[in-house]
Structures are given as C-alpha cells and as structure tokens.
Structure 1
Amino acid sequence: MFLTGLAALAVVPTLPTAARDLDGVSLYPLVAGCFVAASLLGGVLGGHWADRVGPQRPLAAGMALAVVTLLVSGASTSIWQLAAGRFLDGLAGGMVAVSINTAIGQAYPDRLRPRALALMSACWIVPSLTGPPLAGLVAEWWSWRAVFFGLAALTVLPALMVVAVLCGPSWAATPAPSNHRPPRPALMVATAVSLGAALGQYGVSGWDIHHLLFAAGGSALLVAFASRLLPAGTWRAARGLPATVLLCGLGSGVFFTLEAYVPLLLVTDRGAPPLMIGLAFTGAAVAWAGSSWVQGRLLEHCPRHRLVVAGALVQAAAVLVAVTGTIPATPAYTAAPAMVIAAIGMGIYAPSLTVLSLTHSPPGRQGYASSAMQTAQNLGQTTVLGVSSALFNACLGAGSTDAVSYGAAFGLLLAPCILAALLAARARSA
C-alpha cells in the first residue's frame, strides 16, 4: 500500500508536463480519466478473482502489473501510449486495493478490522509528504520520464518479493464455498462500465456538441451496465450491503470533486501560489490518516452507521467552506481548508463503510463486497464530478462569473452529503 500510494501521488504532478511534451494537452482529460475508469475494472475483476481462489493471486498480479505500467508510461512516445499506461496503472491499483481489503476481511476478526484499515490509510502519510514535491523537482531538473522509471526501479524488487511470497506453498487459497460462489461477471459488462466512465470523464471536459456526444455515450453505457456490478437494491438504498455501497459512492464523489475543483479555484480565480496547493494536498492526506486512526482506536466501539453520519456532516461543512471561498470579498485562501476538512470526514466515513460492507458479507463473499465498494467509489467519482462539471460549464456558458460558477458547482455537493446522512441508518449492522 505504501508503494501504491507513492506511485499514485508522485506521478500526478508530472502528467500535465508529459501531456505538453507529447503534444496531447487536448487529450489530458482522457489521460486523467483512464486511471479512474480502469480502477473500476480492476476492482471488479480482482474482487471476483479473490472470491474464486483467494486474494493472493490478484494481489501478486496487481503488484507485477504496477511495475509494467510505470515502464509503459515512462517510455511513452505519444499521448495515447501515456493514456494506455495510466489505464494499466488504474487496473493494477484496483486489483491491489480490493485484494488487500479482501485479505483483511478473511484474516482479521471484526474487532481488529478498523485498526487494520487505519494502518492502510497511514501508509499514505509519507508518500503524501514526499511524493509530489520530489516528483516536481525531478521533472523540473531532469525529466518527467525519470519519475516513472525511478518509481519502477523502486518498486520492482519489493514487487518480486511479494509475488514470490504470495505464490509460495505456505499461502493456501481460500476460495468461496461452492454454494456461495457468485457468478463470474461477463468481461463485457466490466469493460462497458469502465469505458462508460472514461467517456464520461472526457465528455465533461468541454461544453460543445462533440463532448456532449461522448458524455451521452458514456452515460448510456453506465446506465445499461453499472447496475449489474452492484448489489441488487443499490439505487433504492436497500438495507445492508446495497445501502453501504451507495453511501460509498456518494461520499467518494463529494470528496474527489472538492479535491479537483478547490485547487482549480485557488489557481485560476484566487491567484494562490503552487505551494499553497501542495500544502492543501499534504494537509488533506495527513488529516485523512489522522481521522482514520481516531475511528480505529478511539471510536472503535461507536456504532459504524453513526460514524458515517458524522463523516457526511463534516463533508457538508467542507462544502460550505468551499462555497464561502468563492465569494470575492473573502481572503484568497479561504477555500483551501475545505480539502483538509473533507479529508477528516472521509477518514471517519470510508473505513466505517468498509467495516460495514465486510460485516454484511456472507463467508467467502468479501471479495464481491470489496469489488462492489470499489465500483461504487469510482462511479461516484465519475458521476458527482461529471454533474458538477456540467453545472460549472453551463454557468460559464450562460455568462456567469467564475465565482458564481464555482459556487454553483460546490453548492451542488450539499445534496449527496445530506442524502448520505439520511441514509446511513439503512447500512447499520445487526
């Protein structure tokens, strides 16, 4: 998880430079969206693979693929190769994340799962402090390719060790019992959902007929196929796992939309320096890990659905801070704390939902629950960010000022926060 976090946080600051050098700035939204779309596909495939043969093999495959994708991206000669590398990276990341959650569900008793999940969140602290600034220095002083190749060199030996250990005879597979084994999802379904997410990410990057057609095509694929990858009753928040999965999508969509638009507001409208953006990202990562530690250590006996309500309300407070930061009369950096506050909410919100999802999962079905949560997380990012982006571009197209457009995009996020708080009781465990 440490290596996954380091790679994820280090390469993101270099992507704009890479797109510029490869003459592909116009396709940058596709490069950014490929990772999210492929994470969805990787989570689905990794989860069902883990249920069939145990989490060891998909975890080993994800670690090996993580090295390959860094090499593919570093050697890019075109923007399309870079997009392919980011797609492979998302595929590997989705498989690793779901496999780790499945392993925690199988290896740890209920009382220790919150602590194990908090430890996974803590693995992102050092990467969040060191990854982006080091990558920026390397890209500025040397080359953006050196970032990818350096990460590959750093990852290859630990990845080989993990693969060797997990494939050894001492690790017995723990597949699902035959009477609980879920039907293997058609590859076409997972691929269609992943493609729909990618098309949606690209479509919302513009406000013309060309982009609208892509957005419409992506939305059609998601509507047609996404429900097949989620538990029955997810859209109506049926009690138990379906409601838990829906809540995961709502919270993730709010947080990552704030993470996308708050820096954009600070840079384009408030004139904030890059250092402020870096501090906001670092503060958010530390805040997420800190609040995750609190929920795992100090609040471990509190009912999980109540922690979900608390996390959703904290996110709502972050949205209000972001809206306040769009007002021209406020100080330039007013919106920056919104990322940190939202991260505090997610540090309470996300692990609590993961614990609830594992609690609602029958024996041998933790992989299915983990993949459903991963799918909901990625769909939430795509949907909430897409709707907010569409509203933002519509306001700009109607002649509104930047402040009004940002305020509308942020204000929309209050709806999923309030909805999550109201629906949290439907995810409570028996």
Structure 2
Amino acid sequence: MTAPTAPPSTPPSSGRPDTVLSRGYALTTVGMVALVFFAAFEALAVTTVMPQVARELDGVHLYAISFAAPLATGVVGMVVCGIWSDRRGPVPPLYTSIVLFALGLLVCGLAPTMEVLVAGRLVQGLGAGALTVGLYVVVGQVYPSRLQPSIFAGFAAAWVLPSLFGPSIAALIASHWGWEWVFLSVVALVAVATTFVVPSLLGLRGHPEPLGERVPVDRLCWAVVAAIAVLSLDLLGSRSGLGLLFAAAAATVVLVSVRHLVPKRTLTAARGLPSVVLTRGALGASFFCAEAYLPFVLQDHWGLSTGRAGLALAAAGVCWAGASQVQARLGSRLSDERAMLVGTALLAGGAALSLVATGARLHPVVLVVGYAVAAIGMGTAFPRTSVAMLRHSTERDRGFNSSALSIADSLGAALALALCGVTFAAVRRSDLAGVFGDPFAAVFTVSVAWALVAHLASRRTPVS
C-alpha cells in the first residue's frame, strides 16, 4: 500500500530522544489531537443542547434517533475509510472524512426541521467514523512505534477533557447565540486544525497502481446492514411485546454483521489481534453505557442538580486523562497486554462498586468513586488497544485493522446502550422488577457484564 514515510521535517539527531512535540512532529500532533478534540467536544455539546433542539424543531419523537444516527453511519464510514486507506493510502479518505464531518455540522446548524437535522447527523457520523480510522492509519505511518503510546494518550485525553467544560460552553453558546452555533462554530475550528496536519500528509504517498485484489464490497454491505440494525435496535428496544422480538432480531443481525467487519474469530476471543479488538469493543460497551445513565441516576436517586451531576463526568475525565498519561510515560516498562489486563480489572471493579452504590442507595460519593475507578481503568487499557492493534498489523491490513478497532468501539457502545434501554424500560414496566428492583441497577449490571467480557478477552491478547 504505502511505504512508511518520515515526517516532512525530521528533527536532527540530538542527545535527547524525540517526543510527539519535537520539531518534526509538533504540528502534526497538535492538528491531529485538535481534530479528535473538536469531534469529542461536538459530541458532548450536542448532548447538552439536543433537548432544546428537539423542542424548538418539534421533533421530540426523533430525539433518540438523533443520537443513534451518527453511531450507525460511523460504522459505514470506518469500513469505507479502511478499504480506501489500504488501497490508496490515508490521505484521500482523511480529507474526505473531514469534509463530510464539516458538511454534516453545517446541515445540522442550518436545519429548519428535526428531520433535516437527523439527516445532517447521518452525514456527520459518516465523516466522524472515517476520520477516526484515517487518523489511526496516519499515526502508523508518521510516528515510530515508541511514540505511538503518547499520541494515542493524546487522543484519549482529547476525548475526555471536553467533559470538563464542553456542556457548560454549549449551554452558554445556546443561550447567547442559539443552539445552531454549537454546530456551526466547530466547522471553522476543524478547518484550522486540518491546516496543521497537511504538511505531514504531503509526505505520504499511496500505491501508484490500483491493487490487483477486488474491492471488498461485501464488507461494505455488511457495514450498511449493521448500521440499519443498530438504528432499528435503538428504535424498537424500548417497546414491549412484538417490539422486543424485533429488537432481539436486530441485535442478532448486529452480531452476524460484525463478524464480517472484524478479524476472524473475534467474537470467540481467539488469541492475539481478535482478542485485542474484542477487548476494545467490550471496554467501550461497559464504560459508555454507564456514562449515559450516571447523571440520570444522580438526579433521580439523590436529587442532585444537573450541574452537580455533571461534576461526576468531569472527575472521571480527569481520571481517564491522568491514567492515559501515566501509561504513556511507563512506555515499554508496562507491556500492552499487562496494561489491558490491569485496566479491564479496574473497569470491572469500578462498575461493580457503582452497581452496589446504586442498588443499596449508598452515598452518591461511592457511586462517583466507582465511576472514577472505571475511568482510570479506561485510561490505562484503552490507548494500549490501539498500540497493540498497530503492532499486529502490516502495511497491507493496517487500514482494515484500524477500522475494525473503531467498529468494535461504535458497535459495542451502540449495542450496550440498546441493551441498557431495553432492560431499563422492562424494569420500569415491572417486567423484571423481581430480578433487579431498580432500573438503574439493571443498567450497571449490564456495565459489569461487559467489563468482565473485556477482562476475559484481555487475558487472550498475547499471541502465546
């Protein structure tokens, strides 16, 4: 595909080792981390303003799908970018993903109806999914392996840090200039960040001839099927009766589809790369389904205000970012496999503590501490799944493996959120009240289960 190429301006040799902020890497690092940061900020900001958007556009009935849409189309974007990167290099798909992401934001910001906004979210998700994969492939070509843990730690911090102030800034923008500018303001910032990355992209060259292998259209078809199934699961999951049967069928379709989008034997936790991908998917499934319900339970059970409940997310963001930096500084002293093993154990312990705190109605600090421990586990394990994936990859399959890791992320989170929605609704209707008693406890039970899957899979990440 593409030969590894040094950055356009490689720093001269000196007595000090290079870092991701050395002269030859600094602009690329800043630009790439900024792109991830703005994508993360937009995701968190939209969570804050979407209730206002739905009311103003008379689209409360489309509220849930406005969140499911970018997750679903993101899977398609990941697959397309992976295929395209393996055949032509990362530059064309990365530029295309940025354009699609910005176009989706523009459509959302200018949307006159909720239906148009959902369409914009579909386009935005397509670009965001492809952007993630494109950046991973660029990391594999621009940065040496010893610097990759640091750049992935930067990506992790860029995803987490907006939780400290993203919701507050979004609320401020919406109150002073209107919710439209929560979308539109990000477009200009993305354009600026892209200019920082361009010099390094100019140094990368794709294969001069089309590869002899056919384009794997079947993978693209399975990605589309998975996206439709995820959207169907989100729409049907909260219904009773036949709706639950259709939701179960949609979940089955998701599992069948994902088998064609990740390395073989991923769902059975084969040793090496398949277990790395499964670990990544289960990590996101456990943590993000708990995150979605954390502010809700703090307000419902303990009567905390929206602002005080948001502080729990901020604390978790600090813990995740701090743990990411610690694992990066440890470097090779902490193996990728050991980091994933320790991180998933912390995630499981934190999720279990959150479950106990919720079910027994302990002090809310106990719940927040449990969530913070889980965040430390994520910060330890999450970046190393990316490093391990690249270590298991070659020039010919780096794009596929990068997309597989991102697909596991999105589909794992989407599937877990849908299962949480089904379980939460069933318990609230008293269908499962005798088993769980508390719908929030049911949600954290799902989180614990996914964390255990992640821990078991992490034990099989070593090749032998």
| TM-score normalised by L of structure 1 | 0.91
Shift in Å, 1:99: 0.9
Structure 2 distance, partners of 1:241, 1:294, is 24
Structure 2 distance, partners of 1:227, 1:265, is 34
1:391 correspondence with 2:423:
yes
Shift in Å, 1:129: 3.1
Q: Is the 8 A contact 2:234 2:418 kept in 1?
A: yes
Structure 1 distance, partners of 2:47, 2:447, is 24
Q: Is the 8 A contact 1:54 1:175 kept in 2?
A: no
Shift in Å, 1:97: 0.9
Q: Is the 8 A contact 2:276 2:388 kept in 1?
A: yes
2:117 corresponds, among 82, 97, 103, to 82
Structure 2 distance, partners of 1:252, 1:358, is 19
Structure 2 distance, partners of 1:175, 1:40, is 28
Shift in Å, 1:55: 1.2
1:351 corresponds, among 349, 373, 383, to 383
Q: Is the 8 A contact 1:52 1:181 kept in 2?
A: no
2:177 corresponds, among 142, 163, 178, to 142
Q: 1:167 to 1:291 in 2, by over 3 A?
A: closer
Q: Is the 8 A contact 1:199 1:217 kept in 2?
A: no
1:3 corresponds, among 14, 25, 38, to 38
CA displacement 1:134-177 (0-9 Å, x = unmatched): 11112123311122222223334444x36865775x43225899
Hey, what does 1:313 align to over in structure 2? 345
Q: 1:76 to 1:323 in 2, by over 3 A?
A: same
Structure 2 distance, partners of 1:181, 1:231, is 18
2:228 corresponds, among 188, 195, 206, to 195
Matches within 5 A, 1:12-31: 12-31=47-66
SS of the counterpart of 1:120? helix
Q: How many residues are matched?
A: 427
1:45 corresponds, among 53, 56, 80, to 80
Q: Is the 8 A contact 1:304 1:428 kept in 2?
A: no
Hey, what does 1:411 align to over in structure 2? 445
Hey, what does 1:115 align to over in structure 2? 150
Structure 1 distance, partners of 2:222, 2:232, is 15
Percent identity (aligned): 32
1:421 corresponds, among 441, 444, 455, to 455
Hey, what does 2:324 align to over in structure 1? 292
Hey, what does 2:19 align to over in structure 1? none
Give the aligned residue type for 2:261.
L
Hey, what does 2:333 align to over in structure 1? 301
CA displacement 1:6-33 (0-9 Å, x = unmatched): 3222222111111111112122111111
1:172 correspondence with 2:205:
yes
Q: 1:252 to 1:356 in 2, by over 3 A?
A: same
CA displacement 1:228-267 (0-9 Å, x = unmatched): 1111111111111111111111111001111111111112
1:326 correspondence with 2:367:
no
Structure 1 distance, partners of 2:329, 2:147, is 10
Moved more, 2-11 or 29-38: 2-11
Give the aligned residue type for 2:460.
R
Structure 2 distance, partners of 1:69, 1:275, is 29
Give the aligned residue type for 1:171.
L
Matches within 5 A, 1:64-75: 64-75=99-110
SS of the counterpart of 2:58? coil
Shift in Å, 1:362: 2.6
Moved more, 394-403 or 98-107: 394-403
Q: Is the 8 A contact 1:391 1:408 kept in 2?
A: yes
Moved more, 178-187 or 44-53: 178-187
1:93 corresponds, among 128, 137, 141, to 128
| TM-score normalised by L of structure 2 | 0.84
Give the aligned residue type for 1:191.
V
Q: Is the 8 A contact 1:247 1:420 kept in 2?
A: yes
